[in-house]
Chain A
């Protein structure tokens, strides 16, 4: 954490809203990204990210400066998104929803083919993520997009390291099954047990 950031935190703790706004400016991208991956729509992500920063500002007195601010604020965003998913307040809308186009992430490029490809990738990612439960989804997002270690994920989601390992293992398994199903949409879903049996049979 740089000195400037510590200064902003100290000023925010003293009630300076503008100092906290600078922290918002700095961490808006990772917080929005986590919320977007968790909730699946730019509208819900915007609302959740805003709310996460409001909660962080209101709880800044309780923030322990020995911890990373990024981890702390992402923890608030992740837990808020998990709560939102659990309350089922968020309606997973289609990625093609034109109503919220103004909130959509920046245009990936001028080429329509590239844009279409990016859109397809986004759709695939959201499809994989929605196959997971809320906490597993948060763990996957923090690991793949934010390069968090098991310990950091554990701290962020208030879990033990071994629980994180086990959740990520299960998440990869579920996503792999889903992915295999997505690659062969006409074929029936492959059951891992059935695959294992087929393999054991083939190796005899």
Chain B
């Protein structure tokens, strides 16, 4: 068997069967290089196995509790900080938007006011003119037409209006009867 196979066996650890173990042992008797490797592997294994599992200094779990509490506090502070930052940013954005709207509205405010005043003034002018027409007409009519005529006209108009209302009512009743 080639030399490399024995090296492989030595480095494989505890996986050799009894036949392989015997063959390896017989090879080691005549091969100083493999014997040196074999010794090195076993000395390392012994060194590791005789070295104890190390322990932390006392109070490890208490220190852990302190540390986790600090970590949680930091986390909570971070969450609070992020939340406050987001709220502040949102408020700032909202205020900026509202401010911009007000600013743009302010730019058109005088024009709007002017238009409103113009509209009101036009209405006043219109009503004034109407008043100027209607007032002399009524005054002249009162002087020229006797009260008897005025009453007659009023009664006639009332009668015409009443007749129109009755005709409307009757026509609707007739339509309902026809459709029924």
Footprint of B on A, CB under 8 Å? 17-18, 21-22, 24-25, 28-30, 32-33, 36-37, 42, 45-46, 49-50, 53-54, 57, 102-106, 121-122, 124-125, 128, 140, 144-146, 168-169, 172-173, 175-177, 179-180, 183, 192, 195-196, 198-200, 202-203
Check if B11 sits within 8 Å of A145, measured CB to CB.
Answer: no
Check if A105 sits within 8 Å of B48, measured CB to CB.
Answer: no
Known: A30-B53, A50-B63, A121-B51. A196 touches B44 (CB 8 A): no
Check if A176 sits within 8 Å of B64, measured CB to CB.
Answer: no
Mark contacts of B41-57 with chain A using CB atoms, 8 A cut-off: 1 yes-contact digit, 0 otherwise.
10111011111011111
Check if B57 sits within 8 Å of A103, measured CB to CB.
Answer: yes
* Tally of B interface residues using CB under 8 Å: 38
Check if B45 sits within 8 Å of A24, measured CB to CB.
Answer: no
Please report whether the interface of chain B is mostly helix, strand, loop or mixed according to DSSP. helix
Known: A125-B47, A196-B33. A168 touches B13 (CB 8 A): yes
Cα of A42 to Cα of B67 in the assembled complex, Å: 17
Does chain A have a CB within 8 A of B61? yes
CB-defined contacts of B3 to chain A, threshold 8 Å: 196, 199-200, 203
CB-defined contacts of B12 to chain A, threshold 8 Å: 169
Check if A121 sits within 8 Å of B64, measured CB to CB.
Answer: no
Check if B11 sits within 8 Å of A49, measured CB to CB.
Answer: no
Please report whether the interface of chain A is mostly helix, strand, loop or mixed according to DSSP. helix
Does chain A have a CB within 8 A of B108? no
Check if B64 sits within 8 Å of A105, measured CB to CB.
Answer: no
Does chain A have a CB within 8 A of B178? no
Check if B49 sits within 8 Å of A144, measured CB to CB.
Answer: yes
CB-defined contacts of A54 to chain B, threshold 8 Å: 64, 67-68, 71
Known: A46-B56, A180-B36, A199-B3. A28 touches B61 (CB 8 A): yes
Known: A124-B47, A199-B31. A21 touches B61 (CB 8 A): yes
Option from B8, B44, B47, B56 in Cβ contact (under 8 Å) with A45: B56
Check if A173 sits within 8 Å of B11, measured CB to CB.
Answer: yes
CB-defined contacts of A176 to chain B, threshold 8 Å: 11, 37, 40-41, 44
Check if B41 sits within 8 Å of A105, measured CB to CB.
Answer: no
Check if B56 sits within 8 Å of A17, measured CB to CB.
Answer: no
CB-defined contacts of A42 to chain B, threshold 8 Å: 56-57
Mark contacts of B5-40 with chain A using CB atoms, 8 A cut-off: 1 yes-contact digit, 0 otherwise.
001100111000000000000000011111011001
Check if B63 sits within 8 Å of A172, measured CB to CB.
Answer: no
Least Cβ–Cβ distance between A25 and chain B, in angstroms: 4
Least Cβ–Cβ distance between B8 and chain A, in angstroms: 8
